[in-house]
Chain A
């Protein structure tokens, strides 16, 4: 199993959302006892295509480069 190449990671995919304020808005209660800007969250975010909450380092064959 290989690592996803840097430029094809979820972080650069058009389906990926990981802004702290966005996540705090989507995950109601996240900011109540944690935070979107906490270190433990790394750069994880939501993949709208697969409906998953993923690491930004992940990737898949449906990758679509963001603008």
Chain B
């Protein structure tokens, strides 16, 4: 197997630091243990737990409105501080709720509470500020969308000031976004998933297969190791860093391959967070269409939600942007979560099969079809269940009563908690994106990945804005 200058990364320093505790560095998290050692399952327990509690309160004539506090719309600092002071107890209670839920789950997953607690205090305090900025009545005028503010602020703090690495324990990007997605399921009618899901799967399949093929063959043409080409391809085509790391394990990639793909995905994902909403705004795309495009062409769930929510928030505030705010998030979710994420297990199994049968991988291994289930992003189950639960609740109400009773008393508070989870996530993306720490990827992986990005963005736009536009424009209907 040829060695390439482009895929060299020095990992020795970190390994040496960890060798002293070598025996604690092998863990088995599969089987039943997955239920409490994987964040996907914890996202289900936490997300569905919140939904079930909210439903119980609602069915007994109450609401969780009190604890799902958020800053009210404000114009002057007097208004802002007065509103905050009046609800200080609620902000405190919400903090305790999140702290307990995240603290217990992360502790069980093996993280240290002594690191998590101060780190989460930091995240929560800044999240309040970010939420407040978003509630300013002039925020849209200055493009101060909370997702983008959170991201930029986080990146400034981590790259200019710098934070100790142990604080990453509280910057759980994926955990927060997965909980947010489960909560999002409670605001997305299941009938919509059934109606638009197949379209999302078709669109995602076209783009994913094309993007993977482009990155893989351009990479091979440039002389990259085919495992690296496959890892890069999965990072660009399926689900970003998660896709890349899953395929790296499935095909038995060199250990320096994953960091190269991680660098590529992060750099392009950050670019796309700003680029896709900007172009969508310039073209006055319908929020549903933009959401679908972002879902097709962003590289990671967390980054995509930041872009989709930022664009969706413009609806109703910026002239010429048709659609509703929810359309952008719904379009994105359907495309990314339903259309792309859930297929990672199949990608992993197929590529593992190719690696063992065609790429002459080392002897003694045989891919197992169970791989498809083990690598399945389980939080999607929580997302679907939350949608089904809320759809069944809503079934007993007329449209008018739904808007008058169910929406403000049940759906609204869950949506607010979802927004909190998303802000924690967006801020954490910025805080964990330390550009100087990313592995040097080299020119060839960059060229191969970028070729896929170009094809992905163009094809995603054509499919979202023209071929399947009628679906994405009618999500709310």
Contact of A37 among B15, B37, B171, B258 (CB under 8 A): B37
A48 to B25, CA, bound (A): 12
Confirm or deny: B314 has a beta carbon within 8 angstroms of a beta carbon on chain A: no
Cross-interface CB contact of A1 among B300, B352, B363, cutoff 8 Å = B363
With most chain B CB atoms within 10 A of its CB, the pick from A38, A42, A44, A54 is A38
Q: Are A53 and B174 in contact (CB under 8 A)?
A: no
Q: Does B232 interact with chain A (Cβ within 8 Å)?
A: no
Interface size of B by CB at 8 A reads 82
A40-B255 contact in complex given A28-B439, A31-B168, A58-B365, C-beta closer than 8 Å: no
B263 engages A26 (CB within 8 Å) = no
| Chain A residue contacts of B281, Cβ below 8 A | none
> Is A32 touching B365 in the complex (CB atoms < 8 A)?
no
B438 in contact with A45 (CB, 8 Å): no
Type the 1/0 row for B19-45, where 1 means its CB is closer than 8 Å to any CB of A. 000111111111000100111110000
Contact of A30 among B27, B29, B245, B375 (CB under 8 A): B245
On chain B, the residues within 8 Å of A2 by CB distance are: 364, 366
A37 to B368 alpha-carbon distance, docked (Å): 21
Q: Does B412 contact A (CB under 8 A)?
A: no
Mark B220-247 against chain A: 1 for CB-CB distance below 8 A, else 0. 0000000000000000000111110110
* Interface SS, B side: helix
Q: Are B172 and A35 in contact (CB under 8 A)?
A: yes
Residues of A within 8 A of B171 (CB): 31
Determine whether B73 belongs to the interface, using a CB cutoff of 8 Å to chain A.
Answer: no
The verdict on A25 contacting B14 (CB below 8 Å), with A17-B25, A32-B173, A54-B249 known, is yes
Taking the closest CB of chain A, its distance from the CB of B378, in whole angstroms, is 5
Give me 28 A-to-B residue pairs in the complex whose CB atoms sit less than 8 angstroms apart, sorted by A's number: A3-B366, A4-B364, A17-B18, A17-B22, A17-B26, A19-B26, A27-B259, A29-B434, A30-B241, A32-B173, A32-B266, A34-B173, A34-B262, A35-B242, A39-B377, A42-B374, A42-B375, A44-B245, A45-B26, A51-B255, A52-B255, A53-B253, A55-B252, A55-B365, A58-B362, A61-B364, A66-B23, A67-B23
Name B's A-contacting residues (CB within 8 A).
11, 14-15, 17-18, 22-30, 34, 37-41, 109-111, 165, 168, 171-175, 239-243, 245-246, 248-250, 252-259, 262-263, 265-266, 269, 299-300, 302-303, 344-345, 348, 352, 356, 362-366, 368, 371, 374-379, 429, 432-434, 437-439
